Amino acid sequence: MAGLVLGGGRVGGSDYMALYREWRPRTFDEVVGQAHVVRTLKNAVTAGRVAHAYLFCGPRGTGKTSVARLLARAVNCTERAGAEPCGKCTICREVMAGACMDVLEIDAASNRGIDEIRDLRDKVRYMPARARLKVYIIDEVHMLTTEAFNALLKTLEEPPAHVVFVLATTEPHRLPATILSRCQRFDFHRLAPGEVLKRLQEVRDHHGLDCDEAALFALARYADGSLRDALSLLDQCLSFCAGTVTEAAVHEVLGTAPAEALFALSDAAASGDAAALLRLIGELHGQGRDQQQLARDWLGHVRNLLLALFGANTALDGFGPAELQRLAKQAALVGKARLERWLQVLAEAESGMRWATQPRILFEVAALRLLAGGEKPQAAAGAEKAAAVAAPAAVAAPTMPIAPTGPAAPATPVATPITPEVSPAAAPPPPPELPPVPDMAAVRTSWPAVIKRASAAYRPLSGFVSDCRPVDVGPGRVVMSVSNPVFRGHLEKERSRATLERAWSEALGAPVTVTFVAGKDTAIGGRSSPGTGAPRATQAGAAGAARPPAGDPVNPAADPEEDEAASAGDASEPADASEALDALLASGDLEPPEARDDRYAPDDRDAPDDRDAPHAPDAPVAAPPATPEPARAAPRGGPAGHDEPGGRAGGDLTELQVAKLFAGRVIRPDEDISPAPATERGAAGGGAKRGRKRNG
């Protein structure tokens, strides 16, 4: 098939035309590899059933635009015989030259807006200038915007009778469903390597080109089903060689690895020769071969080996008999299992090299994984595991005597008991060592120091620990009894528990944990009530007055004498809350905060507003009605002058009141905490109250 010549020159008037343009099909029969499309269109043209809109989809270089031009010629040819255009009439010649005013090709990639589509919609109303039908070929139609598709929708659905639309795209999934439903869709297939090779041979024979058969095979394979790409590559190789086109020249132009290099790489990997494998990769890299393309080529070669191993020669279209035989020989040498593993390793490497900053290193590591000894076969790995499992059993098995094979001895030997050898690994592991149990006497003696350490580390604990006492010990454990459930909840918080455990560990010289259990009420500075039978550690013990019991360290109530002594009390331990506070002050272990917190001051906010009434400084302030306290009040009869908070005179502080008063703060040894007379306190409270009201 010769190129189209007009007036002694090629179409377009240039001295040279690219091969893919020169060898465009001029008739439906010359279309390569799209028989289903050609047959349908020829029947439609012959029967006069040409639709108003067609959609041609498929990969690049498969003939979409060429078939669209053939259809435009066929529907407008004035001398058509059957379905084939004549190619001689004026309309055919103008369409082939691209000079027909009624066959318009629009590039949607550069004319994708709504304004261009509106202009097209206005022009379709006009009748053709010379042809019978006006044909619009919109290439790369998927590039139109959504607004442009919406503007084209109505015109595409009901165009004038003299208009035919042909839409071409490589990405039909990007088209709206409303466009797809208004067109007849034709899917163009990717060409087989054999079909491409046949057309290349026709071009070679027609022009008398000097091309090796192996070079044409390589071009057909690397064209990837695109006839236009194959003709363009052949055109480029002809310019590169300026003579005979060889396979090496094709690989040099394409930048791909030659077949000899791929076979050599596979042989080195199959034999486990790491040095040869790395040397080949370095040589190909030095020749300018792209490492990712090399991985892609090797992956394709391994795929061909696997197909040759299964005898699927029909899938290896584009290979000659000698190449097929060589592929089968190497595939048998490598084996099915290793070929499958090679496919997986190379596929992962090729995918990772797209984003790698050092693709060569990644490819070399992947190549080393292909070596014969790079990974152990599954059967060998399973045998090693079985041997490892059976080894201990063989060591522990007793050695049985072997019966002699000769004649029996006259004397019967005495049987010797056989003692099986026990493997050292079979001996049970020693039990874990338990932490030592603290001494209960040492625990009770250390309790005042623990209070001091914990209060200094975490100041709110100074009020909560007043309700605690150590009652039991265990391996690395101290059990604390807390009677107030509110205090117990605060002590079980993570920070409070951690502070107490650290203080106990420092006091006892060993790490311990703290466990809190519910217990009976305990006065801050004294023993428990008579009948409980359990002495309590108090904050007064911070001054050194704590005395360990003489009975059972775990259950002090087991000793009746100790119980009686505890009930009777001791002169060194105060018996009520007031004496406990005096002992705390005398000890000097507590320090004051920077400023006294107002929330712990006596609460007189409920007192009536006496801001405008005269207030006698020496008049007693009426005490509000007493509210029941959750904790049991300490015995009355404290020293005179210790009034209750809130301006209530004449009574001792209860346990809960003292905890509220001193929780979260410490007192200076020289601070006077004795409450002022009721009259002074009331006057101060009234003045403070008036100040608060004036300030807001």
pLDDT for 297-330, tens place per residue? 999 999 999 999 988 877 777 677 888 889 999 9
Question: Counting beta carbons within 10 angstroms of the beta carbon of residue 521, is it exposed (0 to 12), middle (13 to 18) or buried (19 or more)?
Answer: middle
State the average pLDDT over residues 579-597. 48
Cβ neighbours, 10 Å, residue 291: 21
Confidence at 579, pLDDT banded by 50, 70, 90: low
Tell me 81's DSSP state: B
Which helix (DSSP H) or strand (DSSP E) does residue 566 occupy? helix 560-568
**440-573 fold:** GMP Synthetase; Chain A, domain 3 (3.30.300)
Half-sphere exposure in the Cβ direction for 399 (13 Å, CA) = 5
- pLDDT at position 496 is 87
Span 431-447, pLDDT tens digits: 555 566 777 888 888 88
- H-state helical runs in 353-493: 359-369, 378-396, 440-457, 461-464, 485-491
CA distance 60 to 196: 14
- Which pair of tokens denotes residue 451? 């209070």
Alpha-carbon distance 108 to 106, whole Å? 6
Q: Name which of 95-109, 452-466, 578-592, 603-617 the model is least confident about.
A: 603-617
The pLDDT assigned to 639 comes to: 42
| Beta-bridge partner residues of 57 | 169, 187
Confidence of residue 582 (pLDDT cuts 50, 70, 90): low
Where residue 410 falls among pLDDT bands split at 50, 70, 90? very low
Top-level class of domain 259-369 = mainly alpha
257, with CB counted inside 10 A (0-12, 13-18, 19+), is: buried
Q: Which fold has domain 193-254?
A: Helicase, Ruva Protein; domain 3 (1.10.8)
pLDDT tens for each residue of 5-20: 333 334 444 578 899 9
Could you read off the pLDDT of 357-391 as tens digits, one per residue?
A: 899 999 999 999 998 544 444 444 444 454 444 44
Q: Decide yes or no: CATH 3.40.630.40 for domain 5-187.
A: no
The average pLDDT across 673-692 equals 48
Q: For 46-59, what is the mean pLDDT?
A: 94
Q: Which residues pair with 518 in a beta bridge?
A: 482
The predicted structure's pLDDT at residue 190:
93
Model confidence band, residue 696 (pLDDT cutoffs 50, 70, 90): very low
Q: What is the pLDDT of residue 605?
A: 44
Q: Tens of pLDDT along 81-139?
A: 889 999 889 999 999 988 899 999 999 999 889 999 999 999 999 999 989 999 999 99
CA separation for the pair 73, 132 (Å, rounded): 10
Cβ 238 vs Cβ 208: under 8 Å:
no
Q: Which two tokens stand for residue 526?
A: 């004294």
What is the 3-state secondary structure of 90-141? Answer: HHHHHHHHCCCCCEEEEECCCCCCHHHHHHHHHHCCCCCCCCCCEEEEEECH
Pairing of strands 134-139, 468-474: unpaired
The DSSP secondary structure of 494-544, one letter per residue, reads HHHHHHHHHHHHHHHTS--EEEEEE-----SSS-PPTTS------GGGGGT
CA 610 to centroid of chain Cα atoms: 69
- Check whether 612 has a pLDDT greater than 50: no
Is the CB of residue 556 less than 8 Å from the CB of residue 602? no
| pLDDT 10s digits, 219-267 | 998 888 999 999 999 999 999 987 789 988 998 888 888 889 999 999 9
For the chain, the domains span 5-187, 193-254, 259-369, 440-573
Q: Which of these ranges, 281-290, 502-511, 548-557, 585-594, has the smallest mean pLDDT? A: 548-557
Q: How far apart are CA 359 and CA 291, in angstroms?
A: 7
Count of CB atoms within 10 A of residue 575's CB? 18
Q: What DSSP character marks residue 654?
A: P
Asked if pLDDT for residue 650 goes beyond 60, the answer is no
Length of the chain: 696
* pTM of the entire predicted model: 0.52
With a pLDDT cut of 70, the percent of the chain lying above it is 63
Q: What is the mean pLDDT of residues 175-198?
A: 93
